[in-house]
Amino acid sequence: MEDYPRTQSDFENRFSSEEACREYLIKLRWPEGFQCPRCSYDESWSLGNGLFKCARCKRKTSVTAGTIFEGTRKPLRLWFSAIWWIIGQKNGASALGIQRVLGFGSYETAWSWLHKLRRAMVRSGRDRLSGVIEVDETYIGGKKYGKRGRGAEGKALVVIAAQLDGTRIGRIRLTRVPDASGRSLEGAVQQMTQEGSVIRTDGWTGYDNLEDLGYEHEIVCKESDVGESLLLPHCHKVASLLKRWLLGTHQGGISHDHLEYYLDEYTFRFNRRTSRSRGKLFYRLLQQAVITDPTPYSRLIKGVRGPKKLYHNMLWSVH
């Protein structure tokens, strides 16, 4: 049964101590009981302060080891407060906002925390979209003079996958690709969608081999016949909303190296746009934080996202 705070006062009461935060994190990381990350043995001795010793191999493991919280010198209470605040920002969070609310003396600390949490927002390669899915690309950065090729220099190419829910948009996935070649686009489709799905695209040749990869491929009419906004309307809407969000919340001040982090945050928020429970979103993000490998600041500034664990002795519900 999912257990999460319902209100601001509930949050403050439940996580008023470091011990309460550790116990909550332990239950999220090991809902069926401790499992040693080295030998998978399920018996241990609790050494206190979130530290366990495997009864078989004698390895010591803390509840934060191997998660985005690994090596943190800040209390978990502060991390919990950061997540609660980020979830409460309907239009997105900024490092300056976290710095101000949590009282960080360093902007770099706030920036790295926010990017670590963005990494945890989407589990790449998991919970892939299925059913009928529109797929298209859009350029991020500056005015777009051409869909592909001309006018694309200095811009980032993002592939959009929008799952159809009747006539509405269901869930989405976003990923950056180096170019619009078949190799790049096919890889993006495989990463974001399940084989057997119906993939709708325009007539771009980069999608020509999707049927060979196990998809049903539908090519809609040419852009010149109906106009870009009607060609793949769901992808066009997502692209428009994404660019508006980047400009409105972040003033467009995003480097290409870090774009994937922002795409993860936008995906997380879009896929949960109908949720009215702040506590449930808090719970979901913490769930994902304990299965996301740590990424040090030196890698964050280079835009290295790093791997994410495929599982962590945990049952997951769909985004």
Q: Which domains does the chain have, with CATH numbers?
A: 8-31+64-119+275-300 (no CATH), 132-247 (3.30.420.10)
Cα–Cα distance, 316 to 133 (Å, whole number)? 23
Q: pLDDT at position 248, please?
A: 74
144 vs 114, residue with greater confidence: 114
Cα–Cα distance, 239 to 144 (Å, whole number)? 12
Residue 81 has pLDDT above 90, yes or no: yes
Kindly report, residue by residue over 178-200, the tens digit of the pLDDT: 999 999 999 999 999 999 999 99
Average pLDDT over residues 200-217: 96
Q: Tell me the pTM.
A: 0.84
96-131 residues labelled b (16+ CB within 10 A) or e (exposed): ebbbeebebeeeebbbbbbbbbbbbbbbbeebbbee
**What is the rounded average pLDDT for all residues in the chain?**
87
Cα–Cα distance, 231 to 221 (Å, whole number)? 7
Helix (H) or strand (E) holding 247: helix 233-250
Residue with tokens 């592939």: 159
Q: pLDDT at position 147, please?
A: 58
